[in-house]
Chains A and B, each alone.
Chain A
């Protein structure tokens, strides 16, 4: 399993237990000009295929039927230390992200991310740049309109319930957006979030 550094085409292994999602992702990546060496449905298959095809990047779903995606990532990195791994996950918070990067994962994205976000993340990972959910450390995170509205109301000191009432969304929805923003801004609470947002001039 030697890396084909000379090749300009990026070889990608997709690890995903839902075949439809897997092949959908594969199609999207192939359309973007990447070479998909295979789609593995389980952790064990992933390890075997990684050894056989020597991909440069592994797109890894953390929910696998046989073993934890994290341990698959650990094992892959132990065998090929300069392998790039991009993780697809449902969980999004700062702690989780930090923990992922601690084990050597280059980037991670939520599963609902657009295919071009994934391609961008892979490209960034190949360039050796850590990309977190499409956001780099250097600039302010991109925010949706809903997130901007919530950020503004948080900065004004409204409670979740008040924000939910104003925006005609649920309190759980507010929570979700807030925790996503905590993660992107890498903060722990709303005070820090407000401070960061002000620093970036987002409010």
Chain B
């Protein structure tokens, strides 16, 4: 079975952003990342919970000599030039005791070593381990790391677009990893240092990636994408170098420098991307402003209150733990930004949640106070059993009233605060009722659009009605310009009407084809994004779909009615035309009869009456032979006249030559007979030789003949021509008849157009209508030219005539 109509429900064409679709396939990735972070966190916290002071260097006996096996970089010892591999000469100016080497090292303030690289002695003083430990406070690092990781995971799981989601996951996870591993590094854990270095690289790279993938069109530049690729390659190279450096500590400084350069460059490029994007629209500027705000708000407290005082050896204004926590604002700002642009409807659940939270808090407080008050009073007056049941009663009361009250209060508050809160069923019912009340396509479309735009707080909505296969009418409602979210969905009034159907579909947040139950497509319903929210909710989409299914049959009916009304109009006007035409035909017929009667009565009848009277005189014939002969001659002449009159009348009614020899010959006859009638004008006609034997369809021949007759009559009636030219020519694409005269009467056309009682141009036009012939009357100077043209394949008729004459005997 192909396409069961019952199951072939029309699907919405396009959805801008599926709403909270938990991207199921992303869960495993998120779980792995979260687990890895948790493992690192547990390990780091376990290490850092050790009672010892943070170790900044590890020592061991290499052979007999106490040697530095590991040194925490970025310490005073490192800065002094001490490196792993150096041999310890003395500790606090005391010689080294190999048996209690570690304890000695832990307590030592001053260390003297012999450099493995240069062989020279180096003496350096350690910083106070506490100062080193303070900024690395465990809880502040843990909180900040959790914040980064949470934002990264959340965005990754919920974001509609994958690439920015991956970017933010990398960013969050790397930063969290960096912070967590940093907890462990001061305790001389080699893996932690490796993790720190790697996550440092990852941090730089993911920052750059994030900015490049940032969902602002202007940042999707070719050079930015290349920068990301190069950064990825550089990061990999540095990571590989680090593997070498683990085996050969002398390479380490180089690796460190390379890594710092790469990360710095990446950050610089990221800033470059931001600056480039800054030139873009207000929308992008606002987004970038938010990032900058997040960065500033995140880093500034730490720098101002802790790092700066520490660097200038002053007292920290704010405990470093607090100011480090402020760095959490950084991922938060990223997260908010991406959520605002990409999270379907995150804003609305958030604010509805806030409202619910507020309502519940207030209600519960009231309940609590009320319960306390009641409990204070009630139990004193109650008996024991009832007093014991009292709390249950209270709980039951609360359980009974709370849901109702909270829903009422919440709805009331939401209605007051938000624009797009509605109840599904009543809304649909109201719309259905209104649609049933209305008539006419435009009224229906307008009502639907008004309802949708108002209920859903849309920026725009549009209904495309397919009035016929090629004619689509568009009805649209546009509210204020959507201020700065996803510019590709913005539309003002003019722009909606300018858009093509495809563009409209692409810009719509939701597009639904309007199908009736019989699967007739009536049109298209497209709605834009919401005004105060990002995306349409699942409920909103359901509402739009329901409205579409309600409005489609109604629109279809309205269209059918409109079509019916149009056809009734057409029929009525056609009937009027027919009535007029039949009246005209009757008039023409009457006029012809009247003329014929007049012709017969005026001429032959009168002659015959006279002849009869003359015949009476034949009674006296016989007396004078000569007179008798003259009388007979007179009678014969009279009879000849009668025959002549009748012949002329017959020829005018039905030209024989037209029937027998066709148009060209008949026109010659016509010219001859008109010439006989006319005294003051010379009528010339040269038949085209090639048309002489050509026969056209009989109706066309009659029509053209009448046209010529009418043309000649017009010339003679309306002007005083001295010469009339008639010509019939076969052209490539048709047959042309031209009647031109020098009688030049400007009124000719007007009167002949108006007196259309079968004699004017209108009569000719009507005769030529079946042949799609055209009739033109022009005045060129003093000349009047009537041009009748009938599109025709003349060549074919000429060929037929040749065949015909080929059958003729030679003359």
Please list the residues of chain A having a beta carbon within 8 angstroms of any beta carbon in chain B: 62, 68-70, 74, 77-78, 81, 89-96, 98-99, 102-104, 112, 144-146, 158-160, 169-180, 182-183, 188-191
Contacts and interface: CB of A to CB of B under 8 A. Distances in A.
Contacts of B645: 170, 172-173, 176
Contacts of A68: 659-660
Q: Is the interface of A mostly helix, strand, loop or mixed?
A: helix
Contacts of B660: 62, 68-70, 96, 99
A172 B651 contact: no
A177 B642 CA distance: 11
A99 B650 contact: no
Interface of B: 599, 602-603, 606-607, 633, 637, 640-645, 647-651, 656-657, 659-661, 665-666, 668-669, 671-673, 675-677, 679-680, 682-685, 687, 692-693, 807-811
B633 A179 contact: no
Given A90-B647, A182-B672, A190-B675, A95 B665 contact: yes
Given A144-B640, A146-B640, A176-B641, A96 B648 contact: no
B677 A175 contact: yes
Given A90-B650, A99-B657, A159 B808 contact: no
Contacts of B606: 170
Contacts of A190: 675-676, 679
A189 B687 CA distance: 15
B613 to A, nearest CB: 13
The 5 closest A-B pairs by CB, nearest first: A176-B644, A95-B668, A81-B809, A178-B676, A159-B679
B628 to A, nearest CB: 16
A202 B37 CA distance: 134
Contact of A176 (B633, B647, B684): B647
Contacts of A92: 647
Which of A95, A98, A103, A190 is the most central at the interface, judged by chain B CB atoms within 10 Å of its CB?
A95
B619 to A, nearest CB: 22
Contact of B637 (A81, A145, A158, A188): A145
B808 A93 contact: no
Contact of B673 (A69, A103, A175): A175
Nearest to A77: B809
A160 B679 contact: yes
B657 A175 contact: no
B810 A81 contact: yes
Nearest to B639: A112
B599 A172 contact: yes
Contacts of A112: 643
Contact of A78 (B641, B643, B657, B809): B809
Contact of A188 (B599, B641, B672): B672
Contacts of B672: 93-95, 179, 182-183, 188
B504 to A, nearest CB: 67
A145 B669 contact: no
Nearest to A74: B808
A173 B603 contact: yes
Contacts of A182: 672, 675-676
A179 B665 CA distance: 15
Contacts of B649: 172
A93 B640 contact: no
A170 B809 contact: no
A78 B676 contact: no
Contacts of A96: 656-657, 660-661, 665, 669
Given A104-B809, A188-B684, A179 B648 contact: yes
